[in-house]
């Protein structure tokens, strides 16, 4: 069963996870206080596993949209937790670059696997989510093993100076830094997801490319993000996050203009790959800026809220 949907209706799969991210933004800090990082390590991938199992049954499209909100909840909780945790460690730029680089690597490999399953093995698109379900199950086991001793009581004692388990979401939302970061990520994630999700259509319809090479441009974009986050993660701390992000943004604007204005397939393909390289480190650099400007007890709430608003960029 194929859904035969318009682009507008299809875009609901981006809007639905945003709802989950929004719920995560409101309750991530409270979940940390109650269950600690151990609870997060169990809860977040469980949400994803449940969502992937449901999608693997190939339900009607409205059910897919609804269950993706649960997946978004899991992703939102994990986003806030692991970005905030790594933001407190030594060598933050390098570690966050590696973390987000692995995200880019997954975004590079997943379409290749899914395409092979559909075109070569002649499987339904939904069978890819059996693999996703299995990976989410592995994440549950790995997270439990890594964070089993990280209880709610331990988190509260370390991240609340007075030892009280009060939430910090309201306090974080009173900080100007939180809102600046949120609006910035709204624009950034919108750009990233729009390029990664629609570049193939653009290359086929506007640049008149064949399906396979057009599909490879998306691979080049996500590979550029992966490499950029890992390599520039070592460069950024040497010149400072503020200057580095400014330079990356200027280069990205130039590459976007080349991609748009030069009507050559190869030029557009190369430009979008380098565009991915330079926008890649912007997200982790923004997270680092938040962890430097806000006290540690606000990190989960502020990063969770910013990531949720960033998810709205994907929907828009």
Q: How far apart are CA 20 and CA 286, in angstroms?
A: 22
Q: How far apart are CA 165 and CA 43, in angstroms?
A: 20
Tens-place pLDDT, residues 177-233:
999 999 998 888 888 888 887 888 899 999 988 888 888 898 899 999 999 999 998
Per-residue pLDDT band at 279 (split at 50, 70, 90): very high
**Is the predicted pLDDT of residue 53 greater than 90, yes or no?**
yes
Per-residue tokens: 201: 């259509």
Cα dihedral 220/226/227/233 (nearest 10): 150
Q: How far apart are CA 65 and CA 276, in angstroms?
A: 28
% pLDDT > 90, the chain:
45
Residue 17's pLDDT is 87
Tens-place pLDDT, residues 137-176:
999 999 999 999 999 989 888 877 665 556 678 888 889 9
Q: How far apart are the first and last CA of the chain?
A: 27
Per-residue pLDDT band at 61 (split at 50, 70, 90): very high
Residue 14's pLDDT is 77
**Is the predicted pLDDT of residue 1 greater than 60, yes or no?**
no
Tens-place pLDDT, residues 77-93:
998 899 889 988 888 88
Tens-place pLDDT, residues 111-140:
889 888 888 888 988 999 999 999 999 999
Per-residue tokens: 191: 């750009």
Q: CA torsion sign, 56 to 50 to 105 to 62?
A: positive
């Amino acid at each position: 069963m194929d859904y035969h949907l318009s682009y507008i209706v299809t875009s609901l799969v981006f809007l639905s996870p945003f709802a989950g991210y929004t719920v995560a933004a409101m309750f991530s800090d409270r979940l940390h206080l109650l269950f600690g990082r151990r609870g997060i390590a169990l809860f977040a991938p469980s949400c994803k596993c449940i969502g992937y199992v449901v999608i693997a049954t190939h339900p009607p499209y409205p059910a897919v949209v609804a269950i993706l909100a649960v997946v978004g909840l899991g992703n939102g909780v994990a986003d806030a937790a692991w970005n905030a945790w790594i933001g407190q460690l030594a060598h933050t730029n390098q570690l966050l670059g590696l973390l987000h680089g692995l995200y880019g690597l997954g975004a590079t490999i997943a379409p290749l696997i899914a395409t092979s399953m559909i075109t070569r093995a002649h499987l339904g698109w939904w069978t890819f989510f059996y693999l996703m379900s299995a990976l989410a199950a592995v994440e549950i086991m790995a997270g439990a093993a890594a964070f089993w001793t990280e209880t709610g009581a331990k988190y509260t004692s370390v991240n609340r100076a007075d030892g009280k388990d009060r939430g910090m979401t309201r306090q974080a939302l009173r900080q100007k830094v939180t809102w600046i970061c949120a609006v910035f990520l709204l624009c950034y994630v919108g750009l990233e997801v729009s390029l990664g999700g629609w570049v193939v259509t653009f290359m086929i319809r506007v640049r008149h490319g064949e399906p396979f090479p057009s599909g490879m441009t998306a691979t080049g974009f996500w590979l550029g993000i992966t490499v950029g986050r890992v390599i520039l993660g070592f460069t950024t701390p040497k010149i400072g996050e503020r200057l580095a992000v400014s330079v990356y943004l200027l280069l990205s604007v130039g590459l976007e203009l080349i991609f748009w204005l030069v009507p050559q397939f190869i030029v557009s393909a190369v430009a979008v790959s380098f565009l991915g390289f330079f926008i890649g480190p912007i997200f982790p650099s923004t997270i680092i800026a938040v962890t430097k400007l806000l006290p540690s007890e606000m990190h989960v709430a502020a990063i969770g809220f910013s990531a949720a608003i960033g998810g709205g960029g994907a929907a828009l």
